[in-house]
Amino acid sequence: MKRFISTLFGLAVLCVFAQAQAVPATVSFTGRLTTSTGPVSGAVTVTFKLFDQSTNGTEQWSEQRSLTATNGLVYADLGAMTTLDTTVLDNSSLYLEIQVGAEILTPRLPLQSVPYAIRSEVANTAETLGTIAPGDVVTTVNASGGISAARSGNTVTLTGTGVSGTAPIAVAGGAVSLTTCAANQVYKMTGGTWQCAADANTTYTAVANGGVTVGPSTIGLTTCAVGQVLKSTGSGTYGCAADNDAGGDITGVTAGTGLSGGGTTGALTLSVNTSVIQQRVTGTCAVGSAIRAIDAAGAVTCDSGGSATGTLLRTSSLTNSCAGNVTFSTTLVKVADIGTFTKNSGTSRLEVTHHGRLAVTGTMTANGARFELRVNDVAASSGLARAIVKSAEVGSAGVHASMTGIWTGLAAGTYTVSLWVQGTGGTGGGTGAYVDPGCWASSHTVVKEFAL
């Protein structure tokens, strides 16, 4: 059904003034809604929209309202639902489009000026400020940095805080300067304050020993002739003298067999030519043996490592009986010191052999007891210097055993041969470990020293 609406006074400002200076935030709209059959009464949904053109254009604002028509009349305060402010009412041309339900009414209505809008045009020029533009009006004064601001009416007074100086800074009449000191004085920190004081420079002078020179800004050594050196006279002074280490009678170095390098000038170096040195070794050793020495002709001396070889230097015989009675576990413990001997050479090799009976007289929970020879509590370098007493052999009679070990790298001096014991198999131990049980004096130890 086609609807028609007529407006009363177009768009008019709601003229209800709360205060004389207050501008209303809404626009009053009054219209009459009719159809071909007469005025409309009852609930209606009306959508109001503002456009920047009379047709088409861009929507600037919209608001939907649920209104009640009475004999065709409808009333609305536009802006009550969606804010109408200066972002919309910015003095540009605007056109009101009215939509009742789903039906858009035409034409759009132009937005006309009303008393408050006319007044706002006057406010744009702010006549009480003359020709000063609103953007040129100062509205805020911030005070900081020793400046305070006070407003009285339309007058703002700025007051500065006085500034004073702490020595050596002086402030007077807006000028900042240093406190004046006497000639050649400097500012020095004294007890937390700066004060004028003498400049205590240190003056350096050269000691009259002929070695050092001191200038206005440099310190250096005394200048000598080319090739000379500063030498002490032995009495606290220095002087220029010839370098007695200069010169010499060597005119060249020649590399001999197995060497490379040499020369006749500059810094000379000699190096071993390994390809030549290796060629002079002509002998070989059997599998399991080691080369103990190489003579000048390249022949080798072999060593199987099982026993000491070389020239026998001396033999020492040690006796021991009735020694021990220790309790042991899986950790080695000393049974007894068998005896001492003297080693004459720092490069010799020792062969130590022990013969005699060994016993474990108490209960042994390990698989067996392992006895071991040591020199100065140090194990043998090679050889099996050990003997085993099995669990089944526990008793005061003991078993006969022989142990031999090789020690190398010991310096000349006095050494002690000792016998140690521990449980085998990783667990257990025993009691009453003895050397020569029964005191039969049947144990003896032989120490042989061989030259390498």
> Phi and psi for 125 in degrees, rounded to 5?
-95, -5
Six token digits for residue 223:
């200048």
158-162, 278-282, 364-368 — which is least confidently predicted? 278-282
Q: Say whether the peptide bond before residue 216 is cis (omega within 30 degrees of 0).
A: no
Q: Say whether the peptide bond before residue 107 is cis (omega within 30 degrees of 0).
A: yes
pLDDT higher than 60, residue 100: yes
Report the alpha-carbon distance of residue 425 to residue 366 in Å, rounded: 6
3-state secondary structure of 32: strand
Q: Which residue has the higher pLDDT, 362 or 39?
A: 39
**Closest Cα partner for 418 from 441, 452, 445?**
445
**CB of 440 closer than 8 Å to CB of 404:** no
* Angle at CA of residue 243, ends 239 and 247, nearest 5°: 165
Distance of CA 195 to the CA centre of its chain: 45
The percent of residues above 70 in pLDDT, for the chain, comes to 76
| DSSP class of 375 | E
Q: With bands split at pLDDT 50, 70 and 90, how would you rate the model's confidence at 4?
A: low
HSE-CB for 99 with a 13 A CA cutoff:
12
**CB of 158 closer than 8 Å to CB of 147:** yes
Contacting residues for 211 by C-beta, under 8 A, at least 6 apart: 221, 222, 230, 237, 238
- H helix runs in 50-155, sequence order: 115-125
pLDDT of 416 reads 94
pLDDT of 309 reads 57
> Phi and psi for 122 in degrees, rounded to 5?
-65, -40
- Give all domains of the chain, ordered by start, each with its CATH number: 3-121 (2.60.40), 311-451 (2.60.120.760)
pLDDT of 7 reads 52
Q: Which residue in this structure is represented by tokens 């020369």?
A: 263
Six token digits for residue 95:
């056109």
pLDDT of 65 reads 94
Q: CA end-to-end span of the chain, whole Å? A: 134
- Average pLDDT over all residues of the chain: 78
The dihedral sign for the CA sequence 219, 225, 226, 229: negative
pLDDT of 241 reads 84
Mean pLDDT of the region 241-261: 76
Mean pLDDT of the region 264-290: 70
Contacting residues for 379 by C-beta, under 8 A, at least 6 apart: 372, 385, 405
3-state secondary structure of 116: helix
Contacting residues for 47 by C-beta, under 8 A, at least 6 apart: 62, 63, 64, 65, 98, 99
Report the alpha-carbon distance of residue 421 to residue 324 in Å, rounded: 10
Report the alpha-carbon distance of residue 417 to residue 372 in Å, rounded: 11
Max CA-CA distance within the chain?
152
pLDDT of 8 reads 42
DSSP assignments along 126-151, one per residue = -GGGTT--GGG--------TTEEEEE
Report the alpha-carbon distance of residue 391 to residue 428 in Å, rounded: 11
Report the alpha-carbon distance of residue 375 to residue 341 in Å, rounded: 10
pLDDT higher than 70, residue 397: yes
Whole-Å CA distances, 268 to 250, 260, 261, 263, 304: 11, 11, 7, 6, 43
Six token digits for residue 279:
């060629």
Whole-Å CA distances, 425 to 244, 284, 329, 331: 74, 40, 11, 12
pLDDT digits (tens, 9 = 90+) for 16-47: 323 334 567 788 889 888 888 889 899 999 99
Report the alpha-carbon distance of residue 420 to residue 166 in Å, rounded: 86
pLDDT higher than 50, residue 132: yes
Query: How many residues in total does the chain contain?
Result: 452
Six token digits for residue 446:
């032989």
